[in-house]
A = this chain, B = another copy of it.
Amino acid sequence: MKSLSEDRLLAWLRGRLRRQDEDLLGDDGALLDRIERPVVTVDQQIEGVHFPSGLPLDIRARRLLAVNLSDLAAMGAAPRYALLTLALPPGLNPKPLFIALLDACKKNGLILAGGDLATASVFVATLSLIGALDSRSRVPARGNAKPSWNLWLGGSLGESAVGRDLLSRGATIRGRSISLPPLPRMSAHAQRGARRAIRRHLLPRPQMELGRWLASQSEAAAIDISDGFALDLHRLCSESGVGAEIDARALDEACGCSSLARKLALDPRELSLAGGEDYVLLFALPAASEPPEDLHCRRIGTVTKTLEIVLLEDGRAENLERKGWDHLQSESAPSHLS
């Protein structure tokens, strides 16, 4: 990287931004347009922790943005501005990362408003997002859920964890092509599913539309499932001071890739409960309210008055353990998978 100085990189970046009248990088900070109801969030992606070493830079950039957007989705906010910091191992040319990030920002209505660069022994990227909540909207806060409301899932569970497992077995990505690790007796169909799981893990699709719909409702509670369904359900219930009854059959149906998981000797139920990094919304709505059909949500249970969180199966109620990712205790995988 001796040939790429910080100021030259910045000049190159500002050249790209100027073309879109979006250059806010000239000063020590950036003066933004007024935001009536600002919503902020921040997330980081660390090589070897949040994604495997050697992942192409454009995918790192898109993943960083996607996991951040998923937080804004849970708040019902529209993306506006982004702030980026990069800690880069010496010799790594960050241009492909910037190209992908600016492209993804543009598609999501975001303007890069600032950043900071440094070299370090490990790649760390952090992104702060500033969003805007519509004047007629309200945050579907985790603490809003009330007894007798229904619990819903915005998408499937477990597929991301299968993708992570395949990556840990040696799946690799080069450009748009994914090479699978040696796997026993997989049909072409199963191999397509395996590639889809890896893509889903690396490039989650934040549920912005669902988040906006939830924020347009007079009553709703939502949480972004990043650390595992069970843990994030516990968090939602704890913030709301409620319990929950989860229908085990509905939960199993929410697993996006049961047969693939079994082929990999993984337990689909475990993946759904604690696989993590699903980046779909778990939300609660009054019984009379239902999300629009075209958002393909799934009802999975009920909010209860007791503080217990249980899984209902064949008439039996079993306590649902508070398990999932803990970012201070697990360095690169949730304990139940390692």
Contact = CB atoms under 8 A, between A and B. Distances in A.
Interface of A: 1-2, 4-7, 9, 26-32, 34-44, 46, 48-50, 70-72, 74-75, 77, 81, 83-85, 87-88, 90, 113-122, 124, 126, 128-131, 133, 139, 141-143, 223-224, 235, 239, 326-331
* Stoichiometry (number of copies): 2
A38 B28 contact: no
A117 B327 contact: yes
Given A40-B130, A42-B114, A85-B43, A6 B143 contact: no
Given A29-B39, A32-B39, A34-B37, A327 B118 contact: yes
What are the 8 closest A-B residue pairs judged by CB atoms, nearest first? A29-B41, A28-B74, A128-B128, A28-B71, A29-B75, A42-B83, A32-B38, A44-B85
Given A6-B328, A28-B224, A29-B72, 5 more contacts: A27-B74, A27-B143, A28-B41, A28-B223, A32-B37
B120 A46 contact: yes
Contacts of A115: 42
Interface centre among A41, A77, A113, A141 (most CB of B within 10 A): A41
A122 B120 CA distance: 8
A40 B133 contact: no
A31 B39 contact: yes
